[in-house]
Amino acid sequence: MQDRLIISLEEFPEEGLRLRGELDGSVFDIDTEALRSIGPLVYDLEVQLYDTELMLRGSLSAAFSLRCDRCLHYFDYEVVVDDFTLSEEVKGKIAFDATEFVREDIILALPAYPKCELADTECEINDTFGDFRLDKDPTLGVDSATPSGNSVWDALDQFPAK
């Protein structure tokens, strides 16, 4: 699969070009515990050359596996940029490499705080801690502090295993 989006400017058609295709997901160069590319960068662009200015307009998309910030489960998410535009001065050039521009627009559209809601699913919160609320009403004689008076996390350590 191609890994660069290079537009030849030699004999560029006056009516413009329609460019559709895919770039290998490796162009993102992202593979972390929280974020991983799982598909190609798909582009569908109208390209026009006005004198020495190259104009690109169209849509981009790419699929990622993201880790939910809240519950740490992984979910698939497709980033879609449907209003990509770019205008570049290309005087004297015989080709223009748009790879970095399309890559960057996809990366900028990635959610800063990935949550399961983005994939229309709900977080699977671990219920082990569900009853261990800090907001129990102290007027009922329930000591919301831990026996030692330290933080609730200390109490978790002391919680007897079933």
Which parts of this chain interact with Zn ion (CB under 5 A)? 68, 70-71, 116, 123
Minimum CB separation of residue 105 from Zn ion in Å reads: 26
What is the closest distance, in whole angstroms, from the C-beta atom of residue 69 to Zn ion in the complex?
7
Q: Considering beta carbons, is residue 7 or 116 the nearer one to Zn ion?
A: 116
User: Residue 31: beta bridge partners?
Assistant: 36
Nearest-approach distance from CB 79 to Zn ion, in angstroms: 18
Q: Which is nearer to Zn ion, 68 or 98 (CB)?
A: 68
Residue whose CB is less far from Zn ion, 41 or 66: 66
Q: How far is the CB of 87 from Zn ion (least distance, A)?
A: 39
With residue 107 as reference, give the H or E element that holds it. helix 99-108
Please identify, using beta-carbon distances, which residue of 1 and 38 lies nearer to Zn ion: 38
Nearer to Zn ion, 71 or 107 (CB): 71
Q: What is the DSSP string of 31-47?
A: B-SSEEE-S-EEEEEEE
Q: What is the largest CA-CA distance in the chain?
A: 84
- For residue 113, the minimal CB distance to Zn ion (Å) is 11
Cβ of 31: how many Cβ atoms within 10 Å?
Answer: 11
The CA–CA distances, whole Å, from 72 to 25, 56, 61, 112 equal 23, 38, 24, 15
| Token pair 């890994």 in the structure block, residue | 3
Nearest by Cα to 54 from 83, 12, 20, 99: 12
